Structures are given as structure tokens and as C-alpha cells.
Amino acid sequence: MDIPRIFTITESAHHIHNPFTPEKYATLGAVLRLEPETRVLDLGSGSGEMLCTWARDHKITGLGVDMSQLFSAQAKQRAEELGVTDRVRFIHADAAGYVADEKVDLAACVGATWIGGGVAGTIELLAKSLCPEGIILIGEPYWLKLPPTEEIAKGCEANAISDFLMLPELIGSFEALGYDVVEMVLADLEGWDRYSAAMWLTMRKWLKANPDDDFAKEIRAHLSSEPKRYATYTREYLGWGVFALMAR
């Protein structure tokens, strides 16, 4: 069980696998008013930065679930680096369908709503692990401005314009599902640059270290096209944020 190899190569040097910066995660923890011993479940936890830093800064306890072997190992290493192995743990497993053994105060899926077949299904999944009056966190892209053509939408790595909503419509979709939106923290261009541009150096270093790998041709093609694609499409049209929801 693992994610596609392209991600474990391009994002192997990332602590954060989305357009958030460490400062944005710090802001999110602060605005959520996290209290010590808050129980957190993070589905699609990546390299564990959110749980580990919140354990250090807010004394939460947490469980992260991710299907990437590399990222799960990195998350455990990060917990050791920050001295929070007694507060958070990480398991390598498929987050799709995962329900916690005990109810949690906060259930998150930050940038992996495919685990539930989309936003609505992921919210439904997270709710199964949530205690009454708990908070759901959803990380999701949205259009900064509507692409004028389907070609531009595909340039943003969407299958179609309909894949994402404008920000007001995305917030409205949460409300239509019966949730109050109680907080949001949005990524900025610096976060997008750090998430996307950091991959380019990682790919270049990987190519130098693995010139004869069967995957080298694909990585070379990706490195040759990604900077221009990102600057032309994603940076111009795509936003991303984390939204805190409470059931009505």
C-alpha cells in the first residue's frame, strides 16, 4: 500500500504536503483555541507536521493515518525530533474508511478529500470519529477566479472547471451539508511557491542521484514542464484553505 511514486519523489523533502507554511499551521492552531489534551485525528496526515507542532505548542494528543510509507516514517521521525512521541502516533494505513476507536475532539482531512470520494463523503467519514460539539477540519482547493476554459482548469491539474468551487460557493456547500463554518485559514502565494517550487530542486537532486532509474525519464519531463505550468495556471487561478466546521 502506497501513494504513486511521483509524489514520494517530488515531495520527499517536504515537511508539509500542501500550500500551508509552518506559520499558517501555527495560526490555525491558535484560532482554533486548542486546549491541552485535545484529541485529534488526522486522516491523510502526510509527514505529520500539523500534529507534531500542535503537540509541541498546544499539548494536544493525536493520531495520524497515511498510506504513504515514506511520509508515515517521516512523521514518526518528526515526532522524535520535536519530543512529542508520547503525545502523537502515526500509522501506515489507508485513511479511506478509517474510524477512530474512541471519539475525538477534532477530526481533520487537510488536502486529501479523495479518501471520502469528495468533500461531502469525507465530512461524513470524519463525523463518525467525532464527539458531540467537535470540530471537523477540511483542507480543500477553490478557484481564486473561474478559469475561462476547460484547458486552463486542466492546467491547474483539475479534470474540469467543475472540480472546484469559488470560495463563497465552497463555504455555501459546507452550510448546505448542515455545518457552521466557524473558522478558516487560507494559503497565500508564498505558501504555494514553497509547496510547488521546492519540488523542482528535489527533482533535480533526485535525477543526479538516480540517472539510470526507470522513472528518471518521467521525472525529467515533470521538471521540464512544472515551473512554467505552475506559474501560468496554478499560481494564477487556484486557492487553498482549511475550514473549521461544526454540525448545527
Cβ atoms of 223 and 200 within 8 Å: the answer is yes
Number of compact structural domains in the chain: 1
Q: Is residue 159 predicted with pLDDT exceeding 90?
A: yes
Q: Are strands 104-110 and 179-186 parallel, antiparallel or unpaired?
A: unpaired
> How large is the average pLDDT for residues 146-173?
98
Determine the pLDDT at residue 1. Answer: 80
Domain boundaries, position 156: 5-13+22-244
Sheet bearing 238-247, strands edge to edge: 88-92, 61-66, 39-43, 104-110, 130-143, 238-247, 179-186
Q: Domain of 107: which CATH number?
A: 3.40.50.150
Decide: helix, strand or coil at residue 32.
Answer: coil
pLDDT tens-digit series, residues 5-45 = 999 999 999 999 999 999 999 999 999 999 999 999 999 99
Is the model's pTM score more than 0.85? yes
Which DSSP letter does residue 18 get?
S
